[in-house]
């Protein structure tokens, strides 16, 4: 489970991410990052630390925080 999730995120990073992916240049403009660590790197780290289910939940929560009124902790 942990492995599958991490693998999927890796595929996203290698192919589709607008920061590092192979298809990066097709984006007309880069996706801005509100956090110091990118969401996909955060997801990889948190899944490793907290396990697949808790980690994925935290990663989704993190993506949900990508809005102007988020309070940085």
Partner 1 sequence: MSDIFNIYLVQPFFNLLIYIYNVLPWHDIGLATIILTFLIRLVFYPLFHKSSKQQILMNRIQPELQKIQKEYKDDKEKQVKAQMALYKKHKVNPFGGCLFAIIQLPIILAVYRVFLNGFSAEKLNSLYSFITKPEIINSVFLGLIDLTKPNIVLALITAYLQFISSKMIMPKTEPKAIGEDPKMKMASTMQKQMVYIAPVMTLVILIPLPSILALYWSATTIFSIFQQWLIKKTIKVEDAPKIIDQDGTNKTIN
d(Cα 46, Cα 34) in Å, to the nearest integer? 18
| Nearer to partner 1 (CB atom), residue 1 or residue 22 | 22
| Nearer to partner 1 (CB atom), residue 18 or residue 52 | 18
d(Cα 14, Cα 17) in Å, to the nearest integer? 7
Return the residues of window 2-41 that contact partner 1 according to CB under 8 A. 13-15, 18, 20, 22, 24-34, 36-39, 41
Contacts of 12 (CB under 8 A, 6+ apart): 21, 40
| Nearer to partner 1 (CB atom), residue 19 or residue 54 | 19
């Amino acid at each position: 489970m942990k492995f599958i999730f991490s693998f999927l995120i890796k595929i996203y990073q290698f192919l589709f991410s607008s920061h590092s992916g192979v298809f990066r240049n097709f984006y007309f403009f880069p996706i801005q990052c509100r956090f110091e660590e990118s969401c996909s790197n955060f997801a990889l780290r948190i899944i490793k630390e907290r396990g697949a289910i808790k980690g994925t939940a935290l990663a989704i929560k993190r993506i949900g925080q990508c809005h102007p009124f988020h309070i940085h902790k």
